[in-house]
Amino acid sequence: MTSRQNLVLSVVVGGLAVHGAITACGSIKSPVTDANASDGLAQVTDGSASNDGGIPQGTIVAFGGATAPSGWMLCDGSVVSRTIYANLFAAIGNKFGGGDGVSTFNLPDLRGRFVRGVDGGAGRDPDAANRVPSTAGGSSGDAVGSLQGDATAVPANPFSTESSGNHTHTNGAFDRLLTHTGLSTAPGSDSTDSSGSEPDIIHSTPMITAGAHTHRIGGGLGFGGDKETRPKNVAVNYLIKL
């Protein structure tokens, strides 16, 4: 008895890759339709197609639907089994959280968050070294899975007024002249006719002279107004390939 040889057949129909294996006796085994293959074809062995469509485990994509399709999960920080999702765990490990530290790990939690490329020495993330784990047991520093909190770049220099404050304060002119003329009579004595005066004093004295100067404006910077600093955005779900 001779062994039968299989002939792999791949046909593209309507944009879908249809695969099957023709045996030596002419029958077609288990045709498979694969709409996930990026090049229209998937690897075929004995009539079966790979179930990942060529997309590596751990790939994260934006998704416009509400429910994750088969082979994907929402990036919602869920704790999942290291055994059941062994391929995914091999790809991302504990980068997004260590689960219970033994049998589980965390999916990425991208709900309400933006993603940013790892700096990798490019110098575009000035606080890369201070990044923290997004979930307990996850990556920190300049690494995949790490998290940065809110930050706003604000001026560090002091504020001051314009220096055109040249001015002088004075009390104005002062003119005082007192005179006295009349008859002075003291009891039990002769009367005396006398007159007198005081010097006339006129002066104008500067009180305060202030040259060009500035005033420092005090105060602190804190949260106020809007609840966060953000660009315009549209919400989507993020998925990760299992």
pLDDT in tens, 156-179: 776 666 666 666 666 666 566 566
Percent of the chain clearing pLDDT 70 (strictly above): 52
Burial class (CB in 10 A: 0-12, 13-18, 19+), 75: buried
Domain range list for the chain: 1-54, 56-149+234-242
Tell me phi and psi for residue 89, to 5 degrees: -65, -35
Give the pLDDT score at 176. Answer: 60
Does residue 18 surpass a pLDDT of 90? no
Indicate the average pLDDT of the chain.
75
Does residue 116 surpass a pLDDT of 90? yes
Return the number of other C-beta atoms located less than 10 Å from residue 167's C-beta. 11
Give the pLDDT score at 143. Answer: 97
- AA letter at 101: G
Does residue 146 surpass a pLDDT of 50? yes
More confident residue, 228 or 208: 228
Cβ-contact 241, 74 below 8 angstroms:
no
Which token pair is 187?
A: 């009891």
Q: Which residue shows structure tokens 């004093």?
A: 201
d(CA 125, CA 201) in angstroms, rounded, equals: 74
Q: What is the pTM of this model?
A: 0.57
